Amino acid sequence: MKYLSRIQSPSDLAKLSSEELTELCSEIRAFLIEKVTKTGGHLGPNLGVVELTVAIHRVFQSPRDAIVFDTGHQSYVHKILTGRQEGFEKLRQRGGVSGYPSRSESEHDVIENSHASTALSWADGIARGYLLQGESDRTVVAVVGDGALTGGMSWEALNNIAASDDLPLVIVVNDNERSYSPTIGGLATHLSTLRATQGYERFLDWGKGVLERTPVVGHSIYETLHGMKKGIKDIIAPQGMFEDLGLKYIGPVNGHDISALEHAFESAKNFHGPVIVHVITEKGRGYAPAVQDEAEKFHAVGIVDAETGLPMSKAAQTWTSVFSDALVELGKERKDIVAITAAMLGPTGVDAFQREFPNRTFDVGIAEQHATTSAAGMAFTGLHPIFAVYSTFLNRAFDQLLLDVALHRAGVTFVLDRAGVTGDDGASHNGMWDLALTGIVPTLCVAAPRDGARLRETLREAADISDRPSLIRFPKGAINADIPAFERRDGIDVLYRGESADILLVSVGAMATIAVEAAAQAYREGVGVTVIDPRWVKPLPQSLITMAQRYSAVVVIEDGIKHGGIASTISEMFSEAGLSIPVHSIGIPLQFLDHAKRTDILNELGISAQSVARSLVTWSSRKSDEPNSDLGTKPATRRPADESASQ
């Protein structure tokens, strides 16, 4: 890495010639392919923004000029250029660099949120702050993907940005949906640069004033000339809608031509007002496997072979794939089933449903709020919408869930992928809030299946609910083996029963494997534990009160925050029933979690079989008399060979 080794900060880029910059970009791509294929991460987006990021750092002076990345998964090159090359050995792992911008890593990182469509609002606020404090010479650069512009928040921000002529703000729209067209690029760049000069605007203002004072024909001449200008703009640069908002527009610019990019950025910077620079890039550029991946362009990869791009290990069956198959099967049986996704057909497993039922699949873009309320509208007509979305992204549509769906008792099913701790992508991607948030929503039913069989089962049950909304949540990654129940009592599955009735362990969703293993370990320490799975955790079955009275303590294990979670709900339920049995909670503390592997985070939080077993022994208040539970009269056993009892 002849040139990359010289780059310790953005200021080092100024020392390189055009030829050296070209070689540097090649080295950066080689670096990304080498590192990210070993760790996994967002490879395709970063391969597409190499020249773009280099040009931004050559024209603007970070951190004095704030560079804000929307979503942030395209910030790897930015990290490389700001002194964090060594951290890529453990990208997205404990001790390595985050997969998104992180203030704790560098002064060059502004925001940590990995949710889309937020950067323009951040940039608007920062730019206004600079102006109010007399620092108009500081520029804010917001790098926004074309996909993020499908989010309503982006347009709310644009509407406000356009109303302020003096905001020192450059909006870089990274458009990787089509290739750059050299036949129009040069002329478009020339005209756009002309439009983004204060002199041109002063000329127009002067001309308007003179013509408006000209008797009879002045106004008509101005309108004709202005209309001609607008017509030419719309032909050459169809993105004239931005200028209709009052924003200056430069582009389209070849996102892989550093010289053209620098010219555009210098023009935008010198305008001293809000300007949009439209950049065309190729996602996955320079890496054949990514370019040939028509669907995702290697947007996010696991550990793959650097040469071929093929996974290094055989893919295990995942929660997402089980849901995907179940959704298609349900769609074949019922014509009222429709699927909704927010720009994540593949990641949420809705792509298979789309192939089978394209007319019953709706990809709304990055617009979770719209998706939620639109689903309520579909339910009003007699359809049953199933909205598949990452748990963390449903947070954005809470108001719509509460007042448009739940208040109207709409028969909508929300399927939350990546619930609980996800780990790799850091604080904002963990789906650890959904149980607490949805717990306060009236009429909503919430299921937490423990395995694939229960996922298929609860999906069908949810689809049968038409007079109120339902929600199903499951974690990221490989799915554990099915855990049959001994029996089902009033909707509660009994997974494990010990020799005595010391502790009732309530397992939520995918925590069942840990719960059963912990119960077995506690039994070897002389503590009798019965493990149950409610399956539907909202509302909780009232029979839980009767069942709990046979035990000296109740323990709840869940992969959501403890504050306001299922343990809190059970404690409140017992209190209202006058039951004074202690309830202990094993879950996620009320804090943001740093990026690391899911297993590592769970272990650190004490959510492992060994840690839970120790807690069970500690909390046990074992009595010497005979157990009074009819569930605990046999020696400890795990589960039967078949699951006929649970069907």
Rounded Cα distance, 385 and 360, in Å: 9
Do the beta carbons of residue 550 and residue 528 sit within 8 Å? no
Rounded Cα distance, 180 and 360, in Å: 33
Q: Which of 128, 283, 456, 562 is catalytic?
A: 283
Cα 613 from chain centroid (whole Å) = 33
DSSP 396: G
DSSP 458-505: HHHHHHT--SS-EEEE--SSBPPPP---SEEETTEEEEEB-SS-SEEE
DSSP 200-262: HHHHHHHHHHHHHTSTTTHHHHHHHHHHHHHHHHHHH-GGGHHHHTT-EEEEEEETT-HHHHH
Do the beta carbons of residue 463 and residue 384 sit within 8 Å? yes
Q: Which of 27, 51, 282, 368 is catalytic?
A: 368
Do the beta carbons of residue 627 and residue 501 sit within 8 Å? yes
The DSSP bridge partners found for residue 471 are: 414, 446
Residue with tokens 């709840």: 556
DSSP 444: -
Beta strands in 364-469 (DSSP E): 384-390, 413-417, 445-447
Record the tokens describing residue 488, joined without a space: 């089902």
Let me know how many helices (H) and strands (E) the chain has, helices first: 24, 18
The DSSP bridge partners found for residue 338 are: 385
Rounded Cα distance, 265 and 248, in Å: 13
Q: Which of 35, 269, 396, 450 is catalytic?
A: 396
396 belongs to the catalytic site: yes
The DSSP bridge partners found for residue 543 are: none
Q: Which residues are catalytic?
A: 283, 368, 396
